[in-house]
């Protein structure tokens, strides 16, 4: 199976699993259910859950648990959705649109958006705890990785909102935590669910962290204002880097990500992860 077909297959698996999970969740009253579904469905590219599923298959052992990998994929996307809902709030980025439609607060009001985000974070932990087949120690480890990512994103967002002048240390912190932590967790969760040894778990976690940083730099490049007189967003890498430097740094972090896949046995899944990284970079080349 070609990498694109493989990634599309995993994206579809994630979409179906997310829909099944939300169908079973008690989200009454109706305003909460509607706001949560609006935040999650229809989704974006589902890059994070795809990474989770591919990472699990890249390291799959007899000790792996496909159900746990699918649950982790759902969890990482619900956690990501919560961060977007809160990131769009008037107190944060005040974004009226998300994924081509009104953001949750624009459609349902600020209070319902706060509550929907709160629910999504709790649902992420409910999802990851769902498989009954997991040994307790591994279930705890998965929850710890998800928790660390959740706190990491908040740390990154807090720094993003700081009024301090942007410099390379601040930018690196924001890239590593606001975006990198979720990508890192996506890959690490998959590796743990797949039964990988600790060295492969660490390699995939670093792959995700580097890919997340490259992803955010690429996103900043695409988010450059159309008005040449308008300044980039306050935390954009283009505040301190030229576009050429930004492209160079995106390429650097992509190379670092792919290099850590060399520690993983060659499989169609690991090849697909490498191709995913290269395809994201190709958008700006």
Per-residue pLDDT tens digits for 13-58: 999 999 999 999 999 999 999 999 999 998 789 999 999 999 999 9
- Pick 3-282's CATH classification: 1.25.40.10, 3.40.50.720, 1.20.140.10, 1.10.600.10: 1.10.600.10
Residue 1's pLDDT band, with cuts at 50, 70 and 90, is low
- Cβ–Cβ under 8 Å, residues 131 and 125: no
Q: What is the pLDDT of residue 123?
A: 98
Main-chain phi, psi angles of 250, to 5 degrees: -60, -40
Per-residue pLDDT tens digits for 94-139: 999 998 999 999 999 999 999 999 999 999 999 999 988 888 899 9
- Cβ–Cβ under 8 Å, residues 87 and 113: no
- Cβ–Cβ under 8 Å, residues 69 and 139: no
Per-residue pLDDT tens digits for 130-150: 988 888 899 999 999 999 999
Compute the distance between CA of residue 52 and CA of residue 192 in angstroms, rounded to an integer: 10
Compute the distance between CA of residue 36 and CA of residue 21 in angstroms, rounded to an integer: 12
What lies within 8 Å, CB to CB, of 123 at 6+ separation is 21, 25, 36, 78
Q: What is the number of other CB atoms lying within 10 angstroms of the CB of residue 32?
A: 17
pTM for this prediction: 0.96
Nearest to 215 by CA among 241, 178, 245: 178
Q: Do the bridges between strand 101-102 and strand 97-98 make them parallel or antiparallel, or are there none, so unpaired?
A: antiparallel
| 97 beta partners | 102
């Amino acid at each position: 199976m070609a990498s694109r077909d493989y990634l599309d297959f995993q994206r579809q698996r994630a979409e179906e699993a997310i829909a099944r999970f939300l169908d079973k969740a008690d989200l009454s009253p109706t305003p909460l259910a509607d706001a949560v579904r609006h935040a999650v469905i229809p989704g974006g590219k589902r890059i994070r859950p795809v990474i989770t599923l591919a990472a699990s298959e890249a390291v799959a052992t007899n000790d792996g648990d496909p159900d746990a990998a699918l649950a982790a994929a759902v969890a990482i996307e619900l956690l990501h959705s919560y961060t977007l809902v809160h990131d769009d709030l008037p107190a944060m980025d005040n974004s009226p649109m998300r994924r081509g439609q009104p953001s949750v607060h624009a459609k349902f009001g600020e209070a319902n958006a706060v509550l929907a985000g709160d629910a999504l974070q709790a649902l992420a932990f409910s999802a990851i705890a769902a498989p009954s087949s997991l040994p307790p120690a591994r279930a705890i480890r998965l929850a710890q990785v998800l928790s660390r990512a959740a706190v990491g994103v908040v740390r990154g967002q807090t720094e993003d909102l700081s009024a301090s002048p942007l410099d390379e240390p601040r930018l690196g912190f924001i890239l590593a935590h606001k975006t990198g932590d979720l990508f890192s967790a996506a890959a690490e969760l998959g590796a743990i669910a797949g039964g990988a040894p600790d060295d492969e778990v660490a390699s995939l976690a670093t792959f995700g962290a580097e890919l997340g940083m490259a992803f955010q730099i690429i996103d900043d490049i695409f988010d450059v204002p159309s008005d040449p007189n308008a300044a980039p967003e306050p935390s954009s890498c283009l505040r301190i880097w030229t576009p050429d430097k930004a492209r160079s740094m995106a390429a650097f972090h992509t190379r670092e990500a792919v290099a850590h896949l060399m520690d993983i046995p060659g499989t169609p899944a690991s090849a697909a992860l490498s191709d995913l990284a290269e395809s994201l970079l190709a958008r700006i080349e």
